[in-house]
Each structure stands twice: as structure tokens, then as C-alpha cells.
Amino acid sequence: MPQIEIVTLTKAYMIGKDTIKALDSISLKINKGEFLSIVGHSGSGKTTFLSIIGGILMPTSGKVVFDGTDIYSLNQEKLSEYRSKKVGFIFQFASLLPVLTAKENLLLPSVFSQKNMGNNEKKVSEYLDMVGLGDKLDAYPSQLSGGQQRRVAIARAFINDPEVILADEPTGDLDEETETEIMGLFKKMHEEKGATFLLVTHSSDLARHARRHLRMHNGKLLEI
Amino acid sequence: MPSSFLFYIMKELNLFTLSLKNLKRKGFRTGILIFSIALTVSILVFGLSFILSVNSSIKRASDRLGADLIVVPVGARDYAEEVLLETKVKSFYMDKGIVDRVKKIEGIETVTYQTYLSTIQGACCDIPEAMVIVFNQDTDFIVKPWLKKAISRKLEKGEVIVGHESLLNIGLGLMDIDANIFGIRFKIIGALEKTGTGLDNALFMSDENIEDILKKGTSNLKPMDISVIFTKVRKGYDPYQVGRNIEGEIIEVDVVSRSDIGKDIIHTLKDIKQIFSMAIVLALLLSAFLSWAIFSAIANERSREVGIMRAIGAKESHIITLFFTEVFIIGTIGSLAGIGVGIYLFIFLSKGFSIIKNISTNITLTGEIAIALVAFIVGTIICILGAISPIYRLKKIEPLIAIKEG
Ligand SMILES: Nc1ncnc2c1ncn2[C@@H]1O[C@H](COP(=O)(O)OP(=O)(O)OP(=O)(O)O)[C@@H](O)[C@H]1O
Ligand SMILES: [Mg+2]
């Protein structure tokens, strides 16, 4: 049984009276531990696709079946648990809470998953170290550069040991060297923890590490 | 150990500490809402304390007055109430012969009378201005219960016993001393317990002293003057009817029945109550509106953050808890501050209100705690009520849309 099965997934947005089909009956099977890359033009539907898999955007029709359960048939509580425990999301947009320090931003997911915070303190510094921010524990997002904020968000996505990592252009604002470091981290997580990766990227260097390559085009997903 | 535990809790990141961080971020706005809640609650506390204390002292006065009917000179009805309920010094007189005429009215069981004199410092007496109540010890049933508790014997000629409050006025160290009253040396032999009525401010002496006082001519009293007649009504008779009969037969008097005591004040109080109620309702509405406006602004500002929190696993209940914790902190601080200010206002500002100044006000501790509790609950609820709809709007947010909108 595939870990994730996407069945004729469609998402239509309404802009005024017009409907825009951002996703057009996409079907896809993903096995546990696979590493997929997705490329595609701006506006082709990549973020929409990842968001629906991550449980943060209702599809218009179709299903996302995770471990045998259609996640959009779950109630909000169970769906929140899915986001909290199964998925690590790296957003295309800035996504840190401004009132919290880097360390606290990393602790936040465990507040919602009700994991023991005490144990996480060590893990938090470890993960911030891994993204090269071991010295920024107490810095607020406003005191970090865009790339540093992005790296905190990456560390946050990993902190709950998710089974699936959804990364939406995670190295968009990082230099080549840092990008290589982050890629090293992804590989490590992939190999050590066996997490499944869906990686949206324009960097061919990053995409190289993937086993399956997909292209999004006008809401359709093509295997390449 | 407990303090280090508390420190740990406060340092730890949880929904409570997160809400504190959020409140601190917009300190001024948080402050405005706290201030508004505090203001509302203080008005509530002050109003309730005021009404409760006036109500209870009127009730106490009529409960503790052992008479069913009070007979006063015609037109002196209000004066009598002022003497009994408030601390006013008043003198009004009628002829002692009326006592026997009242006694003959059908339904009257017992009758006693008192004469009211006022001392004015310097002129006649060496004590501050106070009411002197001269009573007839043979027939008395008004002062007797209090006297019994205080000295368990009758007052001798030349002896004075003081009310609880006038004891404080004259000075605590002055027990067992002599005082010059109406040119006569009296011995102050003790003080009555607190009655919670106007009697607390009076000095009491028996009418065996009247002759001497008249002889000295230091008061405006004339022979055969008395001020009030207290009566008890026989079982089976309607006090109102008996009172009407007295007024019918003796045109020189007015009759106040026990249940009518304080009626005018209660009437005035009703108006005051209405004004207070209106002010309180208005303040509550304004606070609820302010809470709504502020939390609507907060909801708009932070919808992106809510989107992020939802996206990384927050349940609706987490969002609700987080925001209601903020509301609750504001409501709690505001209410507590308001309770403090309200009680302070009542104690210190009330001295400027003649109606409270003259009525002996003493709210019991339980009464004050009950008021504080009510005020606390109302203050917090009003804050919550205003915030409910913005918060519930937040909880329904679709994560991705909210994150992108920011
Ligand atoms: N909330 C929305 N309302 C209406 N239309 C939307 C909304 N979000 C996205 N769209 C439209 O859906 C299409 C797909 O958007 P999406 O964000 O998935 O693209 P993308 O592939 O992630 O683009 P990019 O590479 O620029 O991030 C676009 O045409 C966009 O205009
Ligand atoms: Mg995108």
C-alpha cells in the first residue's frame, strides 16, 4: 500500500466570477521513504498541490489518502493531529511567529502536539546547530536575515520527526553554499529517519537528489 | 521549590506564556482595555457597596428598634427618621400629656417616651456636638436591651452612657470620667454596643436628670417637653390601623410605623440605584464594545499567525485557548484593579456623599467579598463576551489563505 495516494485531485479557485483550475484531476501514488522533486512555472499549482497534501487547503474534489485514511474526511481535530504528527511543512512564505525567539519557534510544534517540552530543549539547539544557527537561539525573527529565518523554519519542520516533509522552494533565498548544507541535511533526514520528501525547487542541484521527478504544468502533474 | 517550579512554568513555552508574550507586544492597547474593564468594575463595586450598605443600615435600624409605632409631633416625621437612621442632631417637642392619651388608644400595649437634646460644644457642655437621649427608665424598652448588655443595671442619676460611635468621637481614653453636660457634671460610665443605627451617635441618660437640667437653664428645653413616644401594639391588632387611629384622635401628632422607617430614603435610593444601574449598564456595554473592537483588530492582525499555528498542528481548541487566555488575563487584571479602586472609592469618596456620611455604613466582610466576586465575574465575562465573535472567526480560518494574506 502506498503511504500517500492522491486520487483525481482538483482545486478550483474563484476570482470574482471566474474559476481558475489550479489543480486538474491529479492522481499520484507515493511510497514511504520516496524522494520526489517537483518543478514547474510560477503559477502552475505547486504550492496548491503541496498545501492540499499537507492538510492546510481543502481540495475542490478528489482525495488525499494517507496510510489508508482520506485526510479530508477527518474532523478538524484529527486533521490537526495529522499536520502536527505526520507532516513537516517548509513554507514558501515567511512563517515564523514574530513574538517568539528562534528557539521558541522550534518549540511551538510540540506545544500543539503535547510532547514533553523538557526533552525538546536539547533537540532544539541540536536542530538549530544543524541549520548553522546554533548561536541564534534567542534571536527574534526580526533580528534574523531572510535566509536565516528560512533555516529556522526548516529546522522547525523536522523537529516533530514527521513521516513526510513538504518543502516549498526551501532554498529560494539561500546562497549556494548554504543550499548545499541544507541539501546535506535533507539527505541525512531522508536516510536516517526514512522520511518521505516532496520537494518543490527550481534548483537543478537540489532536484538531482530526488529519485522521482515531476513537472507541474497548468494544474497537471507529469512524471519526467 | 514552589517558586522554582513557577519559574519553570513561566519560562516554559506553553499557551499561557505565549499569550503573555502576545499581550506585551501591544502593551498600550492591552492597557486601554484593562483600564476600561477596571473603570467599569470600580463603578459596579462602588454602586453595589453603596446600595447594599444603605439598604442594610435601614433594615437594621427598623429591625433593632423595638417599637411598632413611633409617635412624633406633627410635621416632625422626617426629623424622627433622621435621628433614628442618620447621625443628625435634631430637637422637636410635644407635650408629655400626649403619652397618656396614646396609652388609651385601643390596641396599644406598652408606651415609653424620650426627649432629645443637643449639646453644642462651648455653649453648655465640654463634649462635641451630640444628641442626648433622655429616656424614662420605668417604661423604657428601646434602650434597655443595649443597656443590659453594657452594664446590666439601671442608670443612676448623674450617669451617662454613650453610643458606640460617640465613644469614638469623644475619645477612647475617656471612660469613667466626668463631663460637663448642660452645666451639670455627669459621669460617663460606659458605652453601648454598636447598633448600626443613629443611636450609635447619642448619649443616654435617665429622665431623673431633667429637673436639674431645666433648673440650670442651659438648654432650650421647657418643662413637660418630650420628643417621641414609642409604642408596642397588642397581638391581633394591625399596626397601621392603630397608627391611623392615633393620628385621628390626637391631632398634634404624626405616626411612623416600623415598616415605614426609611421609606423616603429608600425612595431616594431607588433613583440613585437607577442612575447607578444606568451608568453600570452603559459602562458594561462600552467595555464589551471596546473588547470587541480590540479583539477584532487583534484577529485581523494575527490571522496570519493563526494560519501558521494551524498549519503546524494547532487544533481549533488551541487557538481558542490561546486567545481566551489573553482575554482572561485582561479581564482578571482589569477586574482586580477595578475592585481595588471601587472599594477605595467607596471608603474615601463616600465621605463626600451626605447620604452615606450620615447613615452609619458598615458592610460586612462577607458582603464586600460577595460584591467583589460578582464584580470580578461580571468584569471578566464582559471582556469575554466582547471577544467571542472575533475569536470564533479566527478559529475557522483556512491556514494557507491566512498565511498568504499576511
Ligand atoms: N487564494 C487564491 N485565490 C485565487 N487564486 C489563487 C489562489 N491561490 C493561488 N491561486 C492561483 O492558483 C494558481 C496556482 O497557484 P500556486 O500558488 O499553487 O502556484 P505555484 O506553482 O506555487 O507558483 P509559484 O512558483 O509562483 O509559487 C495560480 O494561477 C494562482 O493565481
Ligand atoms: Mg508556490
B316/A contact by beta carbon, under 8 A:
yes
Buried b (16+ CB within 10 A) or exposed e, B207-226: bebbeebbeeebbebeeebb
In tens, the pLDDT along B77-133 reads 887 777 777 666 677 899 999 999 999 999 999 999 999 888 765 556 667 777 889
Q: What is the pLDDT of residues B179-203, one digit of tens each?
A: 778 888 888 888 887 776 777 778 8
Query: What are the residues whose beta carbons fall under 8 Å from the beta carbon of A60, sequence distance 6 or more?
Result: A10, A11, A12
Give the lowest-confidence range in A83-97, B1-15, B58-72.
B1-15
Length of chain B in terms of residues written: 406
| 3-state SS, residue B185 | strand
Report ipTM for this prediction. Answer: 0.94
Domain ranges of chain B: 2-59+265-405, 75-251
Dist. CA B133–CA B112, nearest whole Å = 13
For residue A62 and ligand 1, the question of a CB distance below 6 A is answered with no
pLDDT tens digits for range A125-146: 999 998 899 999 999 999 999 8
- Spell out the domains of chain A, with CATH numbers in brackets: 32-58+75-223 (3.40.50.300)
pLDDT in tens, B293-340: 999 999 998 999 999 999 999 999 999 999 999 999 999 999 999 999
* 8 Å CB contact of B21 and A99: yes
Put simply, the answer to whether A100 touches B318 (Cβ < 8 Å) is no
Over range A50-73, report the average pLDDT: 95
pLDDT of residue B314: 93
DSSP-based three-state secondary structure for B105: coil
What integer pLDDT is reported at residue A152 of this predicted model? 95
Contact across the interface for B313 and A95, Cβ inside 8 Å = no
Chain A residues within 8 A of B405 when measuring between CB atoms? none
> Quick check: B354 pLDDT over 70?
no
Which positions in chain A have a beta carbon within 8 angstroms of at least one beta carbon in chain B?
Answer: 47, 51, 54, 56-58, 76-77, 80-81, 83-85, 89, 91, 93, 95-100, 104, 107-109, 111-113, 117, 156, 160
pLDDT at B165 exceeding the cut of 60:
yes
Please say if the pLDDT value at position B209 is more than 60. yes
> Which ligand gives the minimal distance to the CA of A57?
1
Chain B residue with minimum CA distance to A90? B312
Nearest atom in ligand 1 to A45's CA: 18
Ligand 1 site, residue A43, Cβ cutoff 6 A: yes
**Could you please report the per-residue DSSP string of chain A?**
--SEEEEEEEEEEEETTEEEEEEEEEEEEE-TT-EEEEEE-TTSSHHHHHHHHTTSS--SEEEEEETTEEGGGS-HHHHHHHHHHTEEEE-SS----TTS-HHHHHHHHHHHHT--HHHHHHHHHHHHHHTT-TT-TT--GGGS-HHHHHHHHHHHHHHT--SEEEEESTTTT--HHHHHHHHHHHHHHHHHH--EEEEE-S-HHHHTT-SEEEEEETTEEEE-
Q: Using the atom order of ligand 1, give the atom closest to the CA of residue B400.
A: 1
Higher pLDDT among residues A140 and B397, named by residue: A140
A23 CA distance to ligand 1 centroid (A)?
A: 10
Residue B162 to residue B33: CA distance in whole angstroms: 50
Q: What percent of chain B clears pLDDT 90, i.e. is strictly above it?
A: 37
Which ligand has the nearest atom to the CA of A202? 1
pLDDT of residue A24: 93
